[in-house]
Chains A and B, each alone.
Chain A
Amino acid sequence: MLSEERRVEQQSALTQPAAGRLAAPDVRDEFGLETIDMSMGPQHPAMHGLLRLILELDGETVVRCDPVMGYLHRCQEKIAENRMYPAVIPLTDRLDYFANMHNEHGYVLAVEDQLDVEIPPRAEYIRVLMCELMRLASHIPSIGFLMLELGAFTPILYAFRERERIQTIFEAVTGARMMFHYIRIGGVKADLPPDIPQQIWDYIEGLEARFQSDFVDLIQDNEIFISRTRGVGKMTGEKALEMGLTGPPLRCTGVDFDIRRDYPYSIYPELEFDVITDTAGDVEASYRVRIAECLQSIRLIKQCLEKMPEGAVMGDLGRRLRPKEGDGFGRVESPRGEFAVHIVSDGSDTPYRVHYRDPSFCNMQLLQEVVPGHYLPDIMPIMGLIDPVSGGWDK
């Protein structure tokens, strides 16, 4: 057992500065048992990207969880201040790299908020089509990651098989598999290649047919899955709202909020889809919400393909972009929640300030609140509930 002095020394080395720390509950009981501090990450095989959790453990129970971030911080907001508006779009791809299309879309909406430009309807349909494909390519692997962390290896292979096919479609449309730079201010970079709508349709039909067997029947009633996820990370809707959660972590607590419906953008008002909620508010509920949202995305993709008009894909922009002075806002529903961009323009061709509100960053606050009281191995399923992406929380 460590002496008291050594313990204090070690603790302050782990969590400097000691002043102003969150007050940790005192769990040392009359037997003189002590808690131990443990650092989980930043290099941890199951961790989503580079995240360090400073844990205070009482036996196997977590009493304090303090996330330390910044290992992938590139200060994107500063870089963006020194570039012209269109040159920021490829940077946004590097934010949340599982939702690149949504980042581009959010940024572009914020710039267009300050510009007088009409977006051709075909471009809007292509944007939504790409975003919904991206949502599939993010939700399905996130289910795979959750299962991988619980020890099941098969679902991640099925998930990446699907993601791979969607990336092949993206490659044919945009020329890149992940860093697209496809959604541009005023429209999209290029029209869809002629055979792509049929390819997407065939793929979506196939996915719909095998979705039930590969991702629902395989996982949903599995005894190990249920015992590791039911009741884990449980929170109420009130608590979730207080922590500022959005996206599936909020909807799995029963709060009915989806930016696509409540703050409509692009052509979402013309499309039919349901906002999925669940009441349990635990890891299992978030899995069910993601599964149901995949089916809604399939529905949206089909409607986009059916309704897509012909025409131009790029609006009429001047040679140099000079958004008018003031605040521009863009807000989209990314797979992880509310992705918002705030641009402050001073009338020149570079933004004066760009601020990103990334869902991974805000949703991760639940670690501090929800993890204490859980066992150490429950942390990974709770990370699966949030499904954060390192590029997102670190900007």
Chain B
Amino acid sequence: MAVTLPEGNLEDRLKRYLDGFSGRHGLRESEIIGNAVRVVVAPGDVPAVLATAKEALGIRHLSFITVVDRVGSFELTYELIDLRGARVMVKAVIEGEEPVIGSVTGIYPTANWHEREAYDMFGVAFAGHPDLRRLYMWQDHFDHHPLLKSFEISTRRTFEGLR
């Protein structure tokens, strides 16, 4: 079974993606930089925006999810590529100490481990994730999230309950 990938010239495709997003969702910011479409959306809209990207626009590959700890808020970047030269960056900022965002595993199954990694490293919870366990760190007796800016690398960590 052959896989259909997007066709046509790069500029037209970028424009089509941008129009596709702005026609369906409220975007806080949107621009085209080089070969990338960059959109900033409300955190609650992320699953819907990614569903549009996959189903309506035919962008098939979720490359990675980056979480940035902005101390007090978390910035998430979903990097999508259409495998033919165009990139789509979907950004969302979650406020608050206990960040929660909707999972996109139902749309891009590959997000499964990316979200588990983000949860492990930052404590960002993904609502609706089928298997939200820590990926790298110990499952029990370790309640730190190492990539938070508040986690100092020189501090000695202990395993509560195991001593």
Q: A residues bordering B, Cβ < 8 Å?
A: 16-17, 20-22, 69-70, 73, 75, 77-79, 82, 236-238, 241-244, 246, 254-257, 262-263, 327, 329, 331, 338, 340, 342, 344, 352-353, 355, 357, 361-362, 364-365, 394-395
Chain A residue nearest to B1 (CB atoms) is A236
With A20-B130, A257-B83, A340-B64 in contact, do A73 and B153 touch (Cβ < 8 Å)? no
With A22-B130, A263-B85, A394-B136 in contact, do A340 and B79 touch (Cβ < 8 Å)? yes
Task: Return 9 A-B CB contacts under 8 Å, by A number.
Answer: A75-B147, A238-B3, A262-B83, A338-B63, A340-B63, A340-B79, A342-B66, A355-B64, A365-B109
Give the distance to chain B from A114, nearest Cβ to Cβ, in Å: 12
User: CB of B46 within 8 A of chain A?
Assistant: no
Q: Is the CB of B79 within 8 A of A365?
A: no
User: CB of B110 within 8 A of chain A?
Assistant: yes
Highest count of chain A CB atoms <10 Å: which of B35, B77, B87 = B77
8 Å CB contact of A237 from B3, B89, B108, B110: B3
Cα separation A82 to B147 with both chains bound (whole Å):
12
Chain A residue nearest to B129 (CB atoms) is A20
Give the distance to chain B from A133, nearest Cβ to Cβ, in Å: 26
With A78-B147, A263-B81, A263-B85 in contact, do A243 and B131 touch (Cβ < 8 Å)? no
Chain A residue nearest to B38 (CB atoms) is A327
Residues in A whose Cβ lies below 8 Å from that of B61: 241, 244, 246
User: CB of B140 within 8 A of chain A?
Assistant: yes
Residues in A whose Cβ lies below 8 Å from that of B130: 20, 22
Q: How many residues of B contact A (CB 8 A)?
A: 41
Cα separation A395 to B64 with both chains bound (whole Å):
14
Cα separation A352 to B5 with both chains bound (whole Å):
35
User: CB of B32 within 8 A of chain A?
Assistant: no
With A244-B61, A352-B68 in contact, do A21 and B131 touch (Cβ < 8 Å)? yes
Chain B residue nearest to A82 (CB atoms) is B153
User: CB of B112 within 8 A of chain A?
Assistant: yes
B75-87 contact mask (Cβ, 8 Å, vs A): 1 or 0: 0010101011101
Q: Is the CB of A241 within 8 A of B3?
A: yes
Q: Is the CB of A77 within 8 A of B147?
A: yes
Give the distance to chain A from B72, nearest Cβ to Cβ, in Å: 14
Q: Is the CB of A262 within 8 A of B137?
A: no
Cα separation A363 to B137 with both chains bound (whole Å):
20
User: CB of B139 within 8 A of chain A?
Assistant: yes
With A237-B3, A241-B60, A342-B66 in contact, do A327 and B77 touch (Cβ < 8 Å)? yes
Residues in A whose Cβ lies below 8 Å from that of B135: 69-70
- Given contacts A75-B146, A365-B113, list 12 more A-B pairs with CB under 8 A: A69-B135, A73-B136, A78-B147, A237-B2, A244-B62, A254-B2, A257-B83, A263-B35, A263-B81, A263-B87, A353-B66, A361-B113
